[in-house]
Structures are given as C-alpha cells and as structure tokens.
A = this chain, B = another copy of it.
C-alpha cells in the first residue's frame, strides 16, 4: 500500500506537505504542489480513508435510507443521490429498510456513526429515525419536521394539476386512492386535493385509503373506487394505478372508457403499461441529487464553500402532469362512438 510517506520520499518533501498539497493545494507553492501530485499519480497513491476519518473526524461518506429499493421511485432517487455523491468524491451507503420502521431505526443507528450525514427518504417512523440519528446532519426527502433541512416535491401543486385536468375532461366526481397511513406524501396529496377541489364547486373528491403502495394496493382499492361512483381516480403512485387498472379490467371495465386513471411519480412503469398512464412527473433523480447537495451543505467540515450555513428554505421540485392514454372524458359526456 502506498502511503503519504512513499509519496513524500519520491517528491522529496515531508509528509505534511504531501497532505497539504493533496487536500489544500492553495496552501502550497505551485512547484511543490506539482511535484507532489506527480509523485502521487506515479505511485498510484490512494489516501486511506479510514485514517483520514479517524484523524479528521469526517468520513467522506453519506448514508441514504429508503423503504424499498425495488420500488422504481426509490431506485431513481437512489440513483440520483449516488451519482451526486460520486461527483463530489464521497461514498454513499444505501440502506433498504423493507418498509419496516424497526429496521429503519436500527439501520440509522448503525449508519449514523460511520457517515457524515444521512438522507432519509420517505421515512416510515420519522420521529424514531431522527432520534436514532442523535442530532447528526440529516436531510429529509418528502417529509417535514420543524427545523430539519428537507427536499420535497410540490405534491399540492401536482394534485391541483391532476384535478384540473380531470375537470377539464368533464369529470366531477373524483376518487383518490391513498397510500400508507404514515406517509407524509399521502397527507400532502390529500391536503392538495382538498384545497384544489374547494376552488371548484362542481368537483367532489372521494378519498379512500390507506392502501399498500404497491400493485396489490391498487387491486384492493379498485372495487371501492367503482362503488364510489367516481368517473376518475387519482392514485398514490403509479404502481397502485397499475394494480387498479388490472383489477378493473378483470371486472370487465375499461380504462379510460369507464374510468379515467391518474398515477403519481411517472416512474418508468407508467409508460410501459397498457394503457400508458397519465401521471404526475417528478424529477426523482434530481430529488436525490438535491438531497445530497443539501446534506453536504449541512455538514460542518466541508461546507461547500461559502460557509454561510444552510439556507432554511426547503427546495420544492415542480410536479408536472404528463398526459397519456389513461384519462379521457367520462362516458356520459361522449357522443356515441367518439374518442
């Protein structure tokens, strides 16, 4: 293993100069810096992270906690976060908690001490999670706690867009198939929907809920939706929409002819299924990237530059409506044989 000593010997300087030339090049004479960097490159020197961590107290690695990596939503966020961490030369531990609050707390307890900070994506037990962190730097994705830095998507705006789209098509009774009880996103969506519907006295919302955020959740919800008399439905996420469509089909109902369906997230399954889903698009990769940026800015040691502390505002990513084939005017509005 090549150490600072080897580099120092080759470059003809002391080990402290090597350390400086590599970590803070501006504090070293140009000629020295070049010599050291050349030697390091030549020898294939790679700083030993463990030693640096031990000494400096910073690990250069972050954590990301997600409920389920197999969910395309979290996979996309993880991908973005990982990408950004790599660009910044940091490592990223990704932990999948399997939607289990106990595992979540445990994982955070294990992760926190060996990272410089953690991104918590859609925590299932936020209070315990923050507790397990013991005051270490953290950024929340899709959650909201007093003074904790966060990054979120504009769920309310998204819901308004979905509702206005359906209303424009002529729907007046719209069901919402909600996600997990503990989901903050779900609460925001319900609130957004309530707000938006309050602006139009010709639209009524039927909120259903607490369904699993997977295909099965949608299957379970379908019959309730049909019974509700709604002509259109908005679902917690795309997977739920897929399950819903599946069950409707099995009952001989057509989407969008008998019922219009709007998904959420625009994960790539939305465009894969039949019919392709009208859905709310969020740039999930960007969400992950932003969270890492924000986390890095929060961590004391390397405060990205300005050292101005962390801006207290929460970046909110736009949520856009993507119209595909799963929404159409309600059957009653259509002239025989049209669209």
Choice from B50, B78, B92, B93 contacting A53 with Cβ under 8 Å: B50
A:134-183 near B, CB below 8 Å = none
Q: Is A299 an interface residue, CB under 8 A from the partner?
A: no
SS of A interface (majority): helix
Complex: A113 Cα to B46 Cα, angstroms? 8
Please tell me if the beta carbons of A86 and B70 are within 8 angstroms of each other in the complex.
no
Q: Is A51 an interface residue, CB under 8 A from the partner?
A: yes
Q: Which of A33-41, A188-196, A266-274, A300-308 contacts B (4 or more CB under 8 A)?
A: A266-274
Q: Is A75 an interface residue, CB under 8 A from the partner?
A: yes
Q: Is A91 an interface residue, CB under 8 A from the partner?
A: yes
Complex: A54 Cα to B59 Cα, angstroms? 13
Kindly provide the distance from the CB of A143 to the nearest chain B CB, expressed in whole angstroms: 22
A:69-98 near B, CB below 8 Å = 69-70, 72, 75-76, 78-79, 82-83, 86, 91-96, 98
Q: How many copies of the chain does the oligomer comprise? A: 2
Kindly provide the distance from the CB of A49 to the nearest chain B CB, expressed in whole angstroms: 5
Q: Which residues of B contact A114 (CB under 8 A)?
A: 49-50, 91
Q: Is A107 an interface residue, CB under 8 A from the partner?
A: yes
Q: Which residues of B contact A110 (CB under 8 A)?
A: 46
Q: Is A215 an interface residue, CB under 8 A from the partner?
A: yes
Q: Is A291 an interface residue, CB under 8 A from the partner?
A: no
Given A69-B75, A70-B76, A272-B272, check contact A83 B54 (CB 8 Å): no
Given contacts A50-B50, A70-B75, A272-B272, 18 further A-B contacts (CB under 8 A): A46-B110, A48-B54, A49-B114, A50-B53, A50-B59, A50-B114, A51-B54, A54-B54, A69-B78, A70-B72, A75-B75, A78-B94, A82-B95, A82-B96, A91-B114, A269-B272, A272-B273, A274-B274
Q: What are 28 A-B pairs with beta-carbon distances under 8 A?
A: A46-B109, A48-B113, A49-B50, A49-B114, A50-B53, A50-B54, A50-B59, A69-B75, A69-B78, A69-B79, A69-B82, A70-B72, A70-B76, A70-B79, A70-B268, A79-B96, A82-B96, A83-B96, A83-B98, A86-B107, A91-B114, A93-B93, A242-B272, A269-B269, A269-B272, A272-B272, A272-B273, A274-B274
A residues touching B (Cβ–Cβ < 8 Å)? 46, 48-51, 53-54, 59, 61, 68-70, 72, 75-76, 78-79, 82-83, 86, 91-96, 98, 107, 109-111, 113-114, 215, 242, 268-269, 272-274
